[in-house]
Structure 1
Amino acid sequence: MKALRPLLFAGLCLSVSVPPIAAQTTASLPSPAQTETPAQPSDGEVSVAALEKKRDETRAELQDLSRTISLSTDKAQAIEQTIASLDKSSASIRQALIESASRRKEFDAKIRDSEKKIATMRVKEDGIRASLRERRGVLAEVLAALQRMGRNPPPALLVTPEDALASVRSAILLGAVVPGMRAEADALMADLHSLATLQVDALVEKNKAADAMAASQEEDRRMQLLLAENDKQNKVNSADLLTERRRSEELASKATSLEGLIRSLEGEISSVRDAVEKARLEEERRKQLSDSEREKARQLADSGVPDKNRIAPAYPFASLKQKLDLPVGGDVLRAYGDPDGTGHSAKGITVASNAGAVVTAPADGLVVFAGAFRSYGQMVILNAGDGYHIVLTGMEKVSVRQGKFVFSGEPIATMGEKRVASATALALETDRPTLYIEFRKDGTPVDSKPWWTEKETGRARNDS
């Protein structure tokens, strides 16, 4: 670009005088191919820091937008009528809950995808704007040269003999200058077109996110009604429930470790103890089945319609490797074995999600604990059978109770607005709500990675 400036200056002076050395100058002039246009960053070249900053800004913008979206009266009534006409059996309600939670997670995934696309577009937009600012001086010279030549054009070739030499010199100089100016003009047009395209695409993506947020609101309302119906189907004596809750809180306040908490809960809380014993007996019964009966049970489970009234996991937990979905959609910020910010290695994984995201049970399991535990926020502990426990912490609201058996994919909690300050969230460079997930086998933490599907593991690690 700098090499082009003498040419542009010469163009400005063209009508006044053409230096005899113009022909020599042309030898060092840049051709259109030599005129460089700053390359725009591709998806892979976008700065991670710049992208994260834009994602934070876009996330805040979309959250503000979601607050302006409200569920219409007609849609609310339609949802209520749908729930009212639903078969009120426990199995039907829980299946509807699982399906509703799945849709909610799909909408959340669409919102996150739009959020990332918008952020990437805005980083590229900033790059184009910066490139245009850097070339402002050169572009001004191009426009000035064109304007000057328009006011006082060089002489034509077929004129009087005294103008012939000036015409030749002008033609030589213009032959060198015009291609350079054309290259700059083409580059400018390409950048402006890219800028306009990015702005249109960002608007389209924002509208997609708004549609997904509206649909998510509808699904959230449906889920609330289904949870209320589910509670009606699982009425428990309120006095007994209050007594157990107080006892659980007392045990949680005294526990010095998760292992100790789980052991005391499964031994001293009657609803949990009874449910664990029933599940154990059911597992023992299954082991006594004949080969043909076991094969029939396996085929039923593999058909995707296992017994909705079951009180024990449909599958042995050890057989579920590479089959589980993450309980919440988002980005894995810390994996098992990573530094945990306290000088130790992480015993679980930490997933950053969006505000209000639904948390589902990753596998069948008995709710051993559901409530606040120290600084971890709300915690849910599931007994998944085979000596395995799943620990989930960092939620804002829990929608299950102790002693209840939950199915894989069933909603059990929702995330809050911000990250819960806890030991598991130390040194995390995010304010997003984070879910901590820990798998335990016979009281010892184990790496959960082998259990997640390839889609979940790959997406989570790539998006982080």
Structure 2
Amino acid sequence: MIDRAFRLIPGLALCLLMAAPLRAETAAARAAREAAAQLEAATLRMEQADGARDRVKALSETIHAYEAGLAAMRDGLRGVARRETQLTAQLQSREGEIAELLGVIQTIETSSPPVLMLHPSGPLGAARSAMMLAEVAPGLNARAETLRADLEEVQTLRLLQQAAAGKLEEGLSGIQEARTALSTAIADRTDLPRRFTEDPMRTAVLISSTETLSGFASGLSEIADGAVIESRADISDLRGDLPLPVEGLVLRGYGDRDAAGIARPGLLVAARPRALVTSPTAATIRYRGPLLDLGNVVILEPQPDTLFILSGLAEVYGTAGQVIPEGTPVGLMGGQTPQAGAILSLSGEGGGTDRTETLYIEVRMDNSPVDPETWFRTGKGG
């Protein structure tokens, strides 16, 4: 019945269907269109990054733009799918009303004017019928307009979903290209100051001789080939206002127990696959690479006797000893970026299900763990 109504819309010549203005674009449709615009802007950023003086910064901003655009597209498609499902269910529940309305419309459309004017009771009956029709017309007009608007909206939402597939493909291809270019740009970078040069042999000895993160952190000065240049950095005024290194949601807080029942002195943040991880502030890379049972780890020193420890990355960037600016990429999360078809097929599901990777964040001051939420903005209570 709903498909029949779709087919009949072009042929409904009645002014009661065609004279009404189009319904304003719904929030779901508007969100999907805005997300497509974000992806287009990210593509433009990618083109401009080739000529940027600081390619690492430009490519980082490009990846963040793609991440934001793809996330907005996922959310927009969820809204579109929910709205379409809601409308379709409403229309299906009104099939009887729709059939009656279409019957009346088709009867009026197929009847010639002389036939419509005839009445068994003669001119008086015709006049009375005309008066009754005048009274019924506003209600019929309202019902027809509601049906027309709902069917138009469903049709628009379906077209948006079809168009989204192409935009998603372009966005997923663009972000992968940007990640590859970023990895090359970081490897080619030679303009960063260094506080020390790492000795690989000493690092290997330290790793093999320690069994805890605390033990490794206390021996970091031993991995340098020579003295470590003193740092006078002070970010005390930024405490409590630093962004998380990755865009995500806090799953577990400081001191909460993990699945094994062990209380961990850090935050566990759920992030999307292949999300970019950046330094929340200017810092020295004190270590990067595999460590203990933590997977790939990046240890940042933003000021003396303070360490930001990030673990759970699939790839790590930079070199131990480098002093990096705020926002510098230090790695990528693991997992596989879903293809456009998978995103579209899951668009009707609830939000948050695509944050399948986890980043563990620990903050140590004077080699003792402190609550990371005293340093980072987590959005709690906001």
TM-score range, shorter chain: 0.5 to 0.7
Contact 1:332/1:461 (CA < 8 Å) preserved in 2? no
Does residue 1:145 correspond to 2:104, yes or no?
A: yes
Identity of aligned residues (%): 27
Distance 2:182 2:262 in 1: 39
Contact 1:392/1:437 (CA < 8 Å) preserved in 2? yes
The normalised TM-score by structure 1 is: 0.57
1:354 to 257, 269, 272: 272
1:416 to 334, 354, 367: 334
- 1:133 aligned residue: 92
The one-letter amino acid paired with 1:181 is L
User: Residues 154 and 100 (structure 1 numbering): CA distance in 2 closer, same or farther, change over 3 Å?
Assistant: closer
The one-letter amino acid paired with 1:329 is E
2:370 to 432, 446, 455: 446
Q: Render the CA deviation track for 1:278-332: whole Å, top value 9, x for unaligned.
A: 32xx43xxxxxxxxxxxxxxxxxxxxxxxxxxxxx3xx13222355333223444
Q: Render the CA deviation track for 1:134-185: whole Å, top value 9, x for unaligned.
A: 2223212221233356667999897678346754674576456544433222
Distance 1:157 1:220 in 2: 70
User: Residues 347 and 154 (structure 1 numbering): CA distance in 2 closer, same or farther, change over 3 Å?
Assistant: farther
1:246 to 197, 204, 219: 204
Distance 2:119 2:91 in 1: 44
Contact 1:105/1:328 (CA < 8 Å) preserved in 2? no
The one-letter amino acid paired with 2:246 is V
The one-letter amino acid paired with 2:223 is I
User: Residues 161 and 149 (structure 1 numbering): CA distance in 2 closer, same or farther, change over 3 Å?
Assistant: closer
| Shift, 1:395, TM fit | 0.8
- 2:356 aligned residue: 432
Distance 2:56 2:122 in 1: 89
| Shift, 1:444, TM fit | 3.5
1:381 to 299, 309, 329: 299
**Secondary structure in 1 aligned to 2:188?**
helix
Distance 1:450 1:197 in 2: 47
Contact 2:282/2:302 (CA < 8 Å) preserved in 1? yes
**Secondary structure in 2 aligned to 1:363?**
coil
- 1:66 aligned residue: none
Distance 2:327 2:159 in 1: 37
- What is the alpha-carbon root mean square deviation over aligned residues? 4.5
User: Residues 169 and 447 (structure 1 numbering): CA distance in 2 closer, same or farther, change over 3 Å?
Assistant: farther
Does residue 1:122 correspond to 2:76, yes or no?
A: no
Structure 1 unmatched runs, 5+: 1-39, 44-57, 63-68, 70-74, 87-94, 284-312, 420-427
- 1:27 aligned residue: none
Contact 1:377/1:393 (CA < 8 Å) preserved in 2? yes
Pairwise mapping of residues 204-283 of structure 1 onto structure 2 (< 5 A)? 212-213=171-172, 215-230=174-189, 240-241=199-200, 243-251=201-209, 254-255=210-211, 257-263=212-218, 265-266=219-220, 268-271=222-225, 274-275=227-228, 278-279=229-230, 282-283=231-232
- 1:363 aligned residue: 281
1:101 to 60, 67, 84: 60
Distance 1:391 1:354 in 2: 19
| Shift, 1:369, TM fit | 3.1
- 1:395 aligned residue: 313
Distance 1:193 1:202 in 2: 14
**Secondary structure in 2 aligned to 1:437?**
strand
- 2:348 aligned residue: none
Distance 1:270 1:207 in 2: 50
Distance 1:383 1:451 in 2: 13
Distance 1:172 1:374 in 2: 88
User: Residues 445 and 153 (structure 1 numbering): CA distance in 2 closer, same or farther, change over 3 Å?
Assistant: farther
- 2:235 aligned residue: 317
Distance 2:57 2:275 in 1: 15
User: Residues 352 and 156 (structure 1 numbering): CA distance in 2 closer, same or farther, change over 3 Å?
Assistant: same
**Secondary structure in 2 aligned to 1:230?**
coil
User: Residues 204 and 350 (structure 1 numbering): CA distance in 2 closer, same or farther, change over 3 Å?
Assistant: farther
- 1:189 aligned residue: 148
Total equivalences in the alignment: 328
User: Residues 155 and 179 (structure 1 numbering): CA distance in 2 closer, same or farther, change over 3 Å?
Assistant: farther
The one-letter amino acid paired with 2:79 is T
Structure number, greater radius of gyration = 1
Contact 2:252/2:267 (CA < 8 Å) preserved in 1? yes
Distance 1:160 1:405 in 2: 93
The normalised TM-score by structure 2 is: 0.67
Distance 2:96 2:68 in 1: 44
Contact 1:155/1:163 (CA < 8 Å) preserved in 2? no
**Secondary structure in 2 aligned to 1:359?**
strand
